[in-house]
Every structure is written in C-alpha cells, then in structure tokens.
Chain A
C-alpha cells in the first residue's frame, strides 16, 4: 500500500475523516445533549417541541418555560413551626401545581408529626398520622421537602451530572438526562428525592399547563424528581403554591438579597434553625418559631 501509487484519498483516510466529521456534527449541533450545555437556540426549539408534545397529549394549551435564573436573586424559604397545624394542604397543592403522579401517589412534601416532649426527633416521627382533627394535643408538625442545600450531597454524587444548583439557588434535575441510579436518593439526608417507580399518571383535566422545563413538566418513568421551589412560578415573580395555600401563613418565601423582603426580616430577626445542621448541608430552607 504505497501512498504515491494509490488513489489520492485512501479508503481508510476517508473513513476516519467522515467519522470525525459525523461525530463533530452530532456533538455540536443536533446530537443529544444535556440541557444545561445546550445552546439557547436549541433550548428554544426543544421547548417549542415540548409545548406541542404535551398539548397533544393532554388536550390543552400547554406552555413550557425555560426561564433562566434572574441576576441578583437568591431564593430562600422559611417555615414557622409554631404556626403549622399539620393540615397537609401544602402537600396536595404541591401535587396539583407540580403535576405529581396521582396513581401511584407521589408527593414532594412530607409532613411529620412529632411529640412536643421529644422535640425534632426523626426516630419517633410519624408521617402517616390520621386523626379526626389537627392539630393534635401534645404534637407539632414539621413539613419536609427539598432543602435546596448550598452544599448539596445529591448533586455531588450524581454520576451523570443530571442534577445541579442553579445560580438562584434552586437544585434542579434534568429529567431527560437522569439515568435513574438513585444514588442521589441515598445521599439526601432529608428524604426529599422521589423516584418514578412506574409510569406516572395524571388525569388530563388535572394537568397544570403552565410548566417549566426544569420544574413541573410531566416526568417519565424511571427518573428522580423533587421540589423545585415551584420554579415555574417563582422565576415569574409568584409565590410557590405551598406558600399561597397555607391557611395559617406558616410558609414564607423570597429573595435573600432583597433587603425589604419578608424572608430577609425573618433571617435577621428570628431564631432560625436548619434540619440536621451537623451534616453541613447548608440548607436554604429554614425553620423558625415566630411565637
């Protein structure tokens, strides 16, 4: 095989050039890509496609937002343990807002009933309390969802880089990238992450059509999901659904960098605590006793 005698372009050379070109094309322009590395133009196209796909599937006008984090925003949450009555309205408002599976039931918020005598003690907590009336005497309630840790153990362990912290502090999951290994669930100290053990199902009428690509759009089977601080609402200047629905005003949400915000007032003036402080997860979700 002498180069000078053979054709100008050997078969081998052509094959390797063609392969490299194809690989380059797939990797840069149209190939499958993780959401967070996608160019903006491609994200817009992908969102349009999702709009159409969900609109057909659910028979209503669905819009999927890709709103990015706003500059100068650091979200935080605070929950007043002295007010919470354990009614679980937040749990179900969250299910409806965030298109969680109704069958099998999947819930991002878990409300734990605890004994006042023992204080915050997970070993004696009861998530399945079912009395005729809440609050029960001698008990208090600790709702737990994703704590949006600043030092998140879940994003660290993900082998595929399918979950990360956004610039405004929201920990998100790319449902199209998650491989379903559930390592993040083992790493989460708050039981905040939930897995779609089978195809989730939501009745068409109950689907919330205002979606965010990293938030409440319907998830496929075999991936992990969790609270996103209602990213579809909060990035559009609204409160999370659980804050709006709480009948006793126990839930507070806002921008830490805004000096006049309620959340800033609470952090500055109340005695706040975080769950499992010793793990150094640095949650953005604070608990406090206002009274």
Chain B
C-alpha cells in the first residue's frame, strides 16, 4: 500500500506540474495542440479515403512518412552519443544530462512508431504482427527485426529514465545495479536500431541506390549528428529558462563530437558518389536523379545541394573551436546539421531509391497537404511528449519537485551513492 501511495503522489504531483506553467509554456502547448488537431483531422480523412490522398503511388510506394521515420530513428541516437562519454569515459559534465538524451530518444521512437502507423494501409490489422494472435515473420523479414529492436530500445530508455526520476523524486539515489547495465546495453542497441533500419533498405537488391554496404555506416554517422543537434538547442533553452545548469565544456564537447561524425558522414557520401559516377553503370541513374535530375525531372536537385551545403557548413562551424564556442555560430551549426541531415536522410534516401521505379518509369513525388499535415501532427505529438516529460524531469533533477512537496531538496541524482537507502 505504501508503494501505491508513493506512486500516486508522484502521478498527482506530475499532473499538477504539467498543468501549470507560464504564458510561453501555455502558448507552446496550444501551438502543438493545433498541429495535433490538424494532423488528426487529416489522418481521419486519409483513413476514410485511403492513402490515395497522399502523393505515393505504385511507382514511389514510400514517401514522406517513411522518410521522417528514417530520420527520427537517427534522432533516437542522441542518448547514446551522450551515454558513451558519460559512462564509458566517466566524463561528469555530460553525465548530468544523459537523462535528457534518454527522454529525447523516447519521444523520437514515439514519433517513429506513429509514422509507421500512419503509413500502413491497414492500421486496423496492426495486431497481425503480434504473436500469439498474429504472426511476426522473424527472423526473415528485416521489418520484423525493426519492430522488435525499436520497441526494445523504447522500453529500455523508458525504464532507465523513469527509474532515475522516480527515485530522485523520493530523494533516493538510483540503483546503480539496475541503471548501469541497462545504459551500457542501450549503446549497442542504439547502434542496433540504426543498423537494422539501414538494413531494411540495404537488403533490397531491387533498389540499387539502397543496395550499398555503405548505407549502415552512413546512417550511424548522420545519426550522431542529428540527435545531438536538437539536444544542444534543447539544453540551451533549458539553461535559459530554468535553474538548470550545464557546463559550457559539455556543450562544446558534444559539438566537437558532432564535427567528427559529420566528417564521416560527408566522407561516406563522397565515397558513394565516387563509386557511382566513376564506374558509370546503369545504377548511376538514381544518384543522378538526386544530384542533377534526369531530363526535365529535377524536383529534388535544389534539396540535394541544400543538404550538401548545410552539412558542409555545419562541419566547418563545429570543427573550428572558436566557432563552436560562439553561441551564435554554434546554434547556426545545430540548425544546419538538423536541416541537412533531415533532407538527405528523409526524402534524399527514400525518393531517389524509388525513382526511377523498378521498370524505369519516372514518377516525380512531392508530398500532398494531407501528408504534410499528418506529419506535422506526428511531430507535434513527439514534441508534446518531450515537453511534458521535461516539465516533470527538470524540477526533479533540480530537487525542486520531490515527495516532500514544496520543500526544496537540493539532492540531485548522482551515481556516487550506490545503495538504495530509504529516506
């Protein structure tokens, strides 16, 4: 009974926290609510009339939804980029913010699962994948693998984050025996969700643009850029508006790591482009469609070069110590990374992979308003989840929100104390 009472205090406290906030907080939630409502309406329409309301057709059978899904699997890497230096190298300034990386991973995976859900033709049959009633074609289908690893990664991050926050709420240290193994497991798992998602495309011999072994490493490299990019901005916002403190060194170190990841990303793209253009086989067609267009079909070309320019800009800004220590250039770099990777890993991966189609037909895909509205709605759900989790997590880690409500306990969670003593 004591546990239930403790838990209900936590829930009631959290709900109260989430419901109260300043004007900016309420405006932000209102904005997200509008986007979600618009997305729900658009999706309801899509369910009624079918996916014909999207621009996808037999030629380009995946589009904006699956592009966003792929990008967001990358964002979910944010946690791991922080976990490695924090736990493996025991670097304290970053260890304090690992929890935010995990919350971001939870939100990103939520969006991933929603993007898959809005893309499938029969969402009412989703249970067909769930044994014992359904049948998951495991291990033959890589999509079955993806369903498994994404959900496992989701559950692991949720467990770690909830445990740390719940313990801190009751003024107790987290259990090192539980958290450290889970956190260490989440490193190969984060690599795993990217690799499996890359293999999803990589394994299809029918699509030469994807059927390249460089795809999985390139996925990892770009993921290690996009996840931290959004996290750096979030951390600065938190530092600005709450008592939350984060050392500059932590931010600069993350930016430096992003520079290396971006270099690797650009290098792998270059290697792939060299192979395609120099060998000049019939498979060059897809790369050409992305970078220069085929005949009059040039819809994607501006996006391709924008992505290249943004990625190069981000690399230059993050590799020079002066630029990454300057608040303005640091944030420009973050936005450039985010936009660049979003283009190249979303539309830039899916659309040229399917254009021209298997029989050589060129169908130029551009998302419809329905797709944009549904996608905006999914992003809004993700941001809402992230916002609400932060609203609870930040006061807990600051010791402002504890079981002995109101009284500020200046005991932030830390790994120093191993035992799980009762307060």
How long is the Cα–Cα vector from A223 to B383 in the complex, in angstroms? 32
- Chain B's closest residue to A199 (CB) is B50
Confirm or deny: A64 has a beta carbon within 8 angstroms of a beta carbon on chain B. Answer: no
A222:B206 contact, CB within 8 angstroms: no
> A27-B132, A186-B204 are known contacts. Are A221 and B141 too (CB-CB below 8 A)?
no
Residue from A159, A178, A194 within 8 A of B137 (CB atoms): A159
Residue A122 at the chain B interface, CB threshold 8 Å: yes
CB distance from A223 to the nearest CB of B (A): 6
Q: Is A177 an interface residue (CB 8 A)?
A: yes
User: Distance in Å from the Cβ of A178 to the closest Cβ of chain B?
Assistant: 7
> If the complex has contacts A157-B141, A196-B121, A198-B49, are A124 and B135 also in contact, measured as CB distance less than 8 A?
no
Flag if B129 contacts A125 (CB, 8 Å). Answer: no
* Complex Cα gap A34–B59 (Å): 29
Residue tally, chain A, CB below 8 Å to B: 53
Chain B residues whose CB sits within 8 angstroms of the CB of A127 once the complex forms = 359, 361
Which residues does chain B contribute within 8 Å of A186, judged by CB atoms? 61-62, 201, 204, 206-207, 353-354
B52 at the interface (CB under 8 A from A): yes
Q: Which residues on A sit within 8 Å (CB–CB) of B54?
A: 197
A183→B141 contact, CB < 8 A: yes
Is B135 a contact partner of A157 (Cβ separation < 8 A)? no
Evaluate contact between A159 and B360: CB separation under 8 angstroms.
no
Question: Are B359 and A110 closer than 8 Å at their CB atoms?
Answer: yes
Given contacts A191-B58, A221-B50, contact A177 B125 (CB under 8 A): yes
A179 CA to B130 CA, complexed, in Å: 12
| Cα–Cα, bound, A178→B128 (Å) | 8
A158-204: which have CB < 8 Å to B? 158-162, 177-183, 185-191, 193-199
Whether A85 is near chain B, meaning CB under 8 Å from some CB there, is no
Q: Is the CB of A158 within 8 A of B125?
A: no
B: contact size bracket: 35 or more
Question: Interface SS of chain A: helix, strand, loop or mixed?
Answer: loop
B234 to chain A, nearest CB (A): 32
Residues 101-136 of B, flagged 1 when their CB comes within 8 A of A and 0 if not, give 000000000000000100111100110110011111
> When each residue 343-381 of chain B gets 1 if its CB lies under 8 Å from chain A and 0 otherwise, what string results?
000000000011011111100000000000000000000
Query: Quick one: given A32-B133, A186-B61, are A191 and B358 in contact (CB under 8 Å)?
Result: yes
B143 within 8 A of A: yes
Cross-chain contact A190 with B359 (CB below 8 angstroms): yes
Q: How far does the Cβ of B302 sit from chain A's closest Cβ, in whole Å?
A: 24
CA gap between A114 and B50 in the complex, in Å: 34
Cβ-neighbour of A179 out of B57, B61, B125, B132 (below 8 A)? B125
Q: Which residue numbers of B lie inside 8 Å of A, CB to CB? A: 49-52, 54, 56-59, 61-62, 116, 119-122, 125-126, 128-129, 132-137, 140-144, 147, 200-201, 203-207, 282, 285, 353-354, 356-361
Q: List 17 A-B contacts (CB under 8 A).
A: A27-B133, A34-B135, A123-B360, A156-B140, A160-B129, A180-B51, A181-B120, A185-B58, A186-B201, A187-B204, A190-B358, A191-B59, A191-B357, A195-B61, A197-B52, A197-B57, A279-B206
